[in-house]
Every structure is written in structure tokens, then in C-alpha cells.
Chains A and B, each alone.
Chain A
């Protein structure tokens, strides 16, 4: 009998020993609005409840002693609070703090255009790049439809906000690309070297960009390469102008893709009458390799290599002797290797390290003149990112560039070779922080230091970007910065005492995104100093090269994209107004450069300040 009593007692023990305590209260956000659907519970226990439409919660617990009350909801930092259950608990009034990084309610948009499949709030996706009409799946071609760019048909390169093409630089996974364009000849537009399918995201900055990027006066095009290949596949394509073969293999944590390609425009050009007299139809042999490996859950190693050998030849009209056009022959060989490693340590530190190598050989024959150029460029970079607390992210990094440039030149076959060489080492360091000041304001101060051994010069560039949310869907951004760039090898090779060219950017931007419609208005002023200038119309005749040039560019750009109004259609319109004058190269006076004019005009001829207006539209 005693045993039975004891047994019954034992059975009841768990129930008897537990008195119930009621926990109740309300969960609010920073502005005092109720948070609906938040999870409120005791840490490590099942007991808990979700907040109702008024942000209220109530639940009972049988626990005793001191426990931890947790409140969590999407877009907010989890809240933890100790609670003593040995005594009656008064009603809670809990306020959740928004998690700035997770929400990204306010982002810096001045000068920046993003295309991303993953990132929320990007203005474009990578598919938009591939399908942009008239761009022929060329990245540079697609970027050329965005506001801030000037379409310069005969070049095919990026010209941004009154800047020359050399002022725009391309970066793959953060590493500077020494030679992003395929070789071409005057009046034949060049194409970007890289297939848009290699990339999962792109950010195009027409000014005011991060301290992480230097050696560009006007703009940075940041390309983010794909991660692990999704599945194994073999591809073969046969076109009227060539063929390509590719093989992708995917293992658990590794993928490898190799491809080879041959293109020859001969069949096409035979069919379509050409205005140019071709001697050697554009022909390209290329191969590439893409390797990806995940050494851990958060780490990723990327390796990309490509080699291309292209050749073309044509007869270029000669104004002095119309009867005998100049034969031109261009052969370009380019090897490009890019490798990066990314790893996150203890969930707080992220390391991004990378190395890139470029080897380029150009053989140009124009009439009797021969120019052989060889360049080796090596870049190494390491960036450390650290989340300091919920509202501050710090980025610091170091960058080294070693470049060896060598050119052999002779005017006539019987002349001796003239040789020029530019050995350059560029060292840079930067620090930058994203600081959220409340949930409506974000600031990004940064500083970049740069040293060029060839110029024997140092440069310090301050950068600052701010964004403030003015309404639910609208925000205002401001960006300011100094940008330095080493003059081009073609100028350095004369070994005149030169220094960095410099540009200062001031950008003000308003962006409103609501209901799948985006309006973006941006105004800017760009001030150029120390532009390289020489004392003859052509560089070859110059006897003096100095940093005596200067210039400015100012303008307004409007971008409108609408994916809603017309069902099934998506269109965007961009409008650019640009006024620019500069004194550089062989210009006798400050003038609007040819690439910033519409329609194209010769530099120096048109010295008025009539602005260049350009309206472009696009729809699907």
C-alpha cells in the first residue's frame, strides 16, 4: 500500500511541484508601433508566445528562479532580458531595435548603380545586362545604357561623366583588371574581354566610390564573379562565325569549368557587305578555366584564368594620300589570371585576399611603322572586414601593384628600334567604416593612401558618403571624394617629371523606389587638376609633357524604371545633361572633349559651353 501511495506521488510530482506564473506584456518598435508576430519565449524552453495584432503577448510558465526572456523578430536585433520567476512578474513593455544590416532601410546610392540577383534593392539584375538591347551581351555595352555614360560608338569603351576612357577602371572580385578590353583599331569599337555569364553581380559607380578602389579618376566597374557551378554540364555551340566547347564538372565542394572558343568573322563579313577593306578578318582563339572550391562552410576559393589570341588587319583610309590607304595589322595575346580567397572567422571577421596577373603582348603594324608592346601586371590585395557592433562595419586593406611595361617602336623598316620601359610599383592602403546613426542615417567615411615609386609621389584621398531616409520610400545621398590616378604608360615612357592626375567629386542624389517603380535624380560636379598636357597637337611631336592641365564636368541625370504600369512590360528611360571642358593632352585651350559632345565634334573646334543632352530609353 505504501508503495502505491509513493508511486502515485511520484507520478504527480512533476505536476505538483510546478506553480504557474503568467508572463505578459507588449512589444513595440522604436517609433512606438506594435510589433506583430514576434516570438517571445524563455531561453532554452518551449514556453513562449507570439505577439498579436496589438503587439501583446501572454503565456504561463512552470519554471522558477531566474530565466532569460528572449524576443526575436525578422529585421530586429534579438532582445534578451533576465526575469526572476520566484516572485510575481509585472507586465513587460519591450522595445526592439532594428537590425540595420539586416534591414538595410537606408543605403548609399550616390554615384552607384547595382545589378545583383541576390541583393535586395538592386536596380538591375544580371539578366538585365545580358538582355540589354544593342549591347550584344557585352558588359561594357550594357553599362553604356546607364545614365552618366557617354556612348562613343567608334571606341566601345566606357566614358563616364565627361571623363576619358582611361579614367574608368574595371575590378573583378575587388582586383584591378589591367586590360579589360579586346584590342582594336581606330573606328572599330572594342568589346569587353569578359563574358557577362561569368558574373552574378555588378556595381557601376559613376563617381564618389569607396576608398577600397583607387587609380581611377572617374568611375569603377565592380564585377562579382559566380560561386560554385550549380551542376555538371557540357556545352557545344556552332555558329556561323565560330564554335565553342565547354565542360563544367561539379563535385560536393568543388567545381571546375573549362572552355575553348574560336571565332572568325569571315563568313559573316562575306555575307554582309563591309565598308572597310579587310585584309585579315577578325579572328580569335580563346580558352578559359574557372575553378571554385569551398574549403569550409563560410570559405571560398576562386580561380579564373583566360587566354586569348586575336588578330585582325585592314586598310585604313589615309587623308594625305587617298589613293594609297595604310595597311594595319593588329595581333593581341592576353593572359589573365585572377584568384581570390574569402573566409569568415568567428562570425565577426571576414578576410578577402586575392592576386591577379595580366600578361599582354600587342603587335601593331601600320604601314611601315611597327609597335610592339608588352606589359606584365601583378596585383595583390588583402581586405579585412570586421563588424564592430550592430551598427558599425569597418573595412581595412592593403594593395600592391607591380607593373612592367616595355615598348619597341620604329617609324620605318630600316630604322633602329627605339625602346621605352616603365617599371612601376604602386602601394596603397585604405580604411573605411559604415556607420549607422539611428535607423535613418548612414555615413561611410574613408581614407586612402597611395604611393607610386615611378612617380616618387604619395597621395592621400579622403572619401565620404552619406545617406538619409527622407520618407518611407525616398532617400537622399551625398558623396564626396578625391581620386588620384597615375598617368598612362604612353605618357610615362617619355620620362618627364610627372605626378598623379587628380579629380574631386561632389554628388547629390535622390532616389525613390515604390511599387516596382524607381526614380533616381542625381547632380554632380567634378573638378580635375594636374591633367597631363603636352605642347603639340600630337604626342609624338611634343617636347614637353607636364601636369599643367585642368578641367571640370557637371551635370544632372535622371533615371526612371517602371515594372508595374504596363502589365508584362518593363522599361527604363535615362536622361543625362552634361557640361564639360578640359585642358589636357594637346589641347591649345580649354575645350569640350570630343567624347563628351553629342553629336561628336572635334576637340577645340567647339569651345562654347552648350551642354550635351542625351536621352535614352529601353523597354521589353
Chain B
């Protein structure tokens, strides 16, 4: 009888083991992602996160980080076609995450980041289109969570890189990035794996505004 009582324990433990597996593995990969400085470093981490995302098709966070890692990778690669190709991959993971959690502010912020990554590949040809798309995504992200600091960081980045004659430039970006600084300070991630990137880059950009 006593042994039978242990059975639910056994299942619970196996469940915790499986769960812990995904969270621990993802958490480890996020650490590695922070440390990656070159495309050669980042590609294996992106691959690792993709493996987790492929094995956990019902979780939005692995898909989110797979999209985030590939977007980051696009900035590190040199060849245009490769940069677009990893962004295509990022977009498929982001679309998957959006299907799982359609009302998540972080996903729209990441969408804006992805549009910006497309833009920088060819600013002259793509500027108008992708700056507009990024703005639309950021408005949506802000509407879903006005306290998401990444929204203000990316809005600030958009403004910073928009030519002065179209209402952008450092002076226009500064107040937005000040808000971003505030939002980052008061932001507490809801759980260990919650998106928490962008603060350092945001502060660095703010420093350039003076």
C-alpha cells in the first residue's frame, strides 16, 4: 500500500525531470548566447536552441529564442544572402511562437527587431518599408504591454537611425531611450527564462545621443 502511494511521486518526478530538462537546457543556451561574439560562436548556440524548439513544439519560449538567436546571427554574418536566409529561419520560428501565444508583447518586439535586421542589410533600398513595418509591430507590442522595456529600446533605435529630415536622429531618439532606461530599471522578469535582453545596447545607444 505504501509503495502504491509512491507511484504518483514517481510520475511527478519524471515530469519534473522532463520539464527541468527543457528549462535547464534553454537556460544554459541563453547563457552561451550572451557570451557569443562571433558568427562561429553563435551558430552552434542557435543550432542548440533550434533543437530544443524542434523537440518542444508546444512551448513558445524555445521558438522565441530560436528566432532571437537567428536574428542576432544575421548581424554577425557578412554575406547578404546568408543574412537574409537566417532571418527567413528566424521568421518561421517567430511565426510558430506567435501561433502559440498570439497576445505576447515580447513576440511583437522581437518581430520589430527582425524587421530592423532586414533593414540594415540594405538601408537605402529597404529603409522605407522595414522602418514602417517595425513601427507597426512596436505599436502592437506597446499596446499589449506598455511596460515592456524592449519596445522603447527598439523605438529609440528606429528613431536614432531614421534620417533627421524624416523626423529622426539622436535628438529625437534621446527621450525615447531615456524612457527605455526607466523601463529597464523597473522591469522584473516574470520567470527565469523571460526575455531580458537589450539593456546594455539601449544604454550604449543613449550614450551616443549626446
Complex CA gap A75/B84 in Å reads 12
Interface size on A, residues (CB 8 A): 29
Chain B residue, CB-CB nearest to A3 = B2
A288-311 with Cβ < 8 A to chain B: 297
In the complex, B166 has a CB within 8 A of chain A: no
A184 to chain B, nearest CB (A): 32
Contact yes or no, B126 A117, CB < 8 A? yes
In the complex, A322 has a CB within 8 A of chain B: no
Contact yes or no, B47 A10, CB < 8 A? no
Contact yes or no, B48 A48, CB < 8 A? yes
Contact yes or no, A127 B125, CB < 8 A? yes
In the complex, B21 has a CB within 8 A of chain A: yes
Q: Pick from A36-44, A86-94, A169-177 the stretch touching chain B.
A: A36-44
A537-566 with Cβ < 8 A to chain B: none
Q: Which residues of A contact B129 (CB under 8 A)?
A: 117, 230
On whether A39 and B50 interact (CB within 8 A), knowing A10-B13, A14-B17, A120-B80, the answer reads yes
A574 to chain B, nearest CB (A): 21
In the complex, B25 has a CB within 8 A of chain A: yes
In the complex, A231 has a CB within 8 A of chain B: yes
In the complex, B144 has a CB within 8 A of chain A: no
Q: Which residues of B contact A10 (CB under 8 A)?
A: 6, 9-10, 13
Contact yes or no, A14 B85, CB < 8 A? no
Contact yes or no, B51 A39, CB < 8 A? yes
Complex CA gap A49/B44 in Å reads 7
Contact yes or no, B124 A127, CB < 8 A? yes
On whether A44 and B55 interact (CB within 8 A), knowing A102-B85, A120-B80, A230-B133, the answer reads yes
Complex CA gap A11/B14 in Å reads 9
Chain A residue, CB-CB nearest to B70 = A74
Contact of B52 among A6, A46, A117 (CB under 8 A): A46
Interface string of B6-29 (1 = CB under 8 A from A): 100110011001000110010000
Kindly state the interface size class of chain B when it binds its partner: 35 or more
Contact yes or no, B43 A50, CB < 8 A? yes
Q: Which residues of B contact A6 (CB under 8 A)?
A: 3, 6
Contact yes or no, A48 B126, CB < 8 A? no
Q: Which residues of B contact A39 (CB under 8 A)?
A: 47, 50-51
Contact yes or no, A125 B3, CB < 8 A? no
Complex CA gap A43/B136 in Å reads 37
Contact yes or no, B25 A46, CB < 8 A? yes
Q: Which residues of B contact A46 (CB under 8 A)?
A: 21-22, 25, 48, 51-52, 55
In the complex, B89 has a CB within 8 A of chain A: yes
In the complex, B61 has a CB within 8 A of chain A: no
Interface string of B63-75 (1 = CB under 8 A from A): 0000000000000
B72 to chain A, nearest CB (A): 14
In the complex, A7 has a CB within 8 A of chain B: yes
On whether A120 and B84 interact (CB within 8 A), knowing A6-B3, A10-B9, A230-B132, the answer reads yes
Complex CA gap A47/B52 in Å reads 9
Contact yes or no, A74 B17, CB < 8 A? no
In the complex, B148 has a CB within 8 A of chain A: no
In the complex, B86 has a CB within 8 A of chain A: yes
Q: Which residues of A contact B3 (CB under 8 A)?
A: 3, 6
Main secondary structure of the interface of B (DSSP, over half): helix
Q: Which residues of A contact B133 (CB under 8 A)?
A: 230
In the complex, B135 has a CB within 8 A of chain A: yes
In the complex, B143 has a CB within 8 A of chain A: no
Complex CA gap A370/B2 in Å reads 107
A178 to chain B, nearest CB (A): 31
Q: Which residues of B contact A37 (CB under 8 A)?
A: 40, 43-44, 47
A295 to chain B, nearest CB (A): 17
A102 to chain B, nearest CB (A): 7
A38-62 with Cβ < 8 A to chain B: 38-39, 41, 43-50
Contact yes or no, A231 B136, CB < 8 A? yes
Complex CA gap A230/B55 in Å reads 34
Q: Which residues of B contact A102 (CB under 8 A)?
A: 85
Complex CA gap A444/B55 in Å reads 40
Contact yes or no, B51 A48, CB < 8 A? yes
On whether A117 and B136 interact (CB within 8 A), knowing A6-B3, A46-B55, A102-B85, the answer reads no
Q: Which residues of B contact A44 (CB under 8 A)?
A: 54-55
Q: Which residues of B contact A43 (CB under 8 A)?
A: 54
B138 to chain A, nearest CB (A): 12
Interface string of A1-38 (1 = CB under 8 A from B): 00100110011001000000000000000000000011
Q: Which residues of B contact A38 (CB under 8 A)?
A: 47
In the complex, B81 has a CB within 8 A of chain A: yes
Complex CA gap A50/B44 in Å reads 5
On whether A74 and B86 interact (CB within 8 A), knowing A46-B21, A120-B81, A125-B125, the answer reads yes
Chain A residue, CB-CB nearest to B25 = A46
In the complex, B103 has a CB within 8 A of chain A: no
Contact yes or no, A74 B89, CB < 8 A? yes
Q: Which residues of A contact B85 (CB under 8 A)?
A: 74-75, 102
Complex CA gap A74/B14 in Å reads 36
In the complex, B145 has a CB within 8 A of chain A: no
A101-149 with Cβ < 8 A to chain B: 102, 117, 120, 125, 127
Contact yes or no, B82 A14, CB < 8 A? no
B26 to chain A, nearest CB (A): 9
B94 to chain A, nearest CB (A): 13
Complex CA gap A50/B54 in Å reads 15
Contact yes or no, A41 B86, CB < 8 A? no
Q: Which residues of B contact A127 (CB under 8 A)?
A: 124-125
Complex CA gap A16/B135 in Å reads 53
A48-88 with Cβ < 8 A to chain B: 48-50, 74-75
Q: Lowest 3 A-B CB distances belong to which pairs?
A: A50-B44, A39-B47, A37-B43
17 new A-B pairs (CB below 8 Å) besides A14-B14, A127-B124?
Answer: A3-B2, A3-B3, A10-B9, A10-B10, A11-B13, A14-B17, A39-B50, A46-B21, A46-B25, A46-B48, A47-B51, A48-B47, A74-B82, A74-B85, A75-B85, A117-B129, A250-B136
Interface residues of A, Cβ cutoff 8 Å to B: 3, 6-7, 10-11, 14, 37-39, 41, 43-50, 74-75, 102, 117, 120, 125, 127, 230-231, 250, 297
* 23 A-B contacts (beta carbon < 8 Å): A3-B6, A6-B3, A7-B6, A10-B9, A10-B10, A11-B13, A37-B40, A39-B51, A41-B47, A41-B51, A44-B54, A45-B51, A46-B48, A48-B47, A50-B48, A74-B89, A120-B84, A125-B125, A230-B133, A230-B136, A231-B132, A231-B136, A297-B95
Interface residues of B, Cβ cutoff 8 Å to A: 2-3, 6, 9-10, 13-14, 17, 21-22, 25, 40, 43-44, 47-48, 50-52, 54-55, 80-82, 84-86, 89, 95, 124-126, 129, 132-133, 135-136
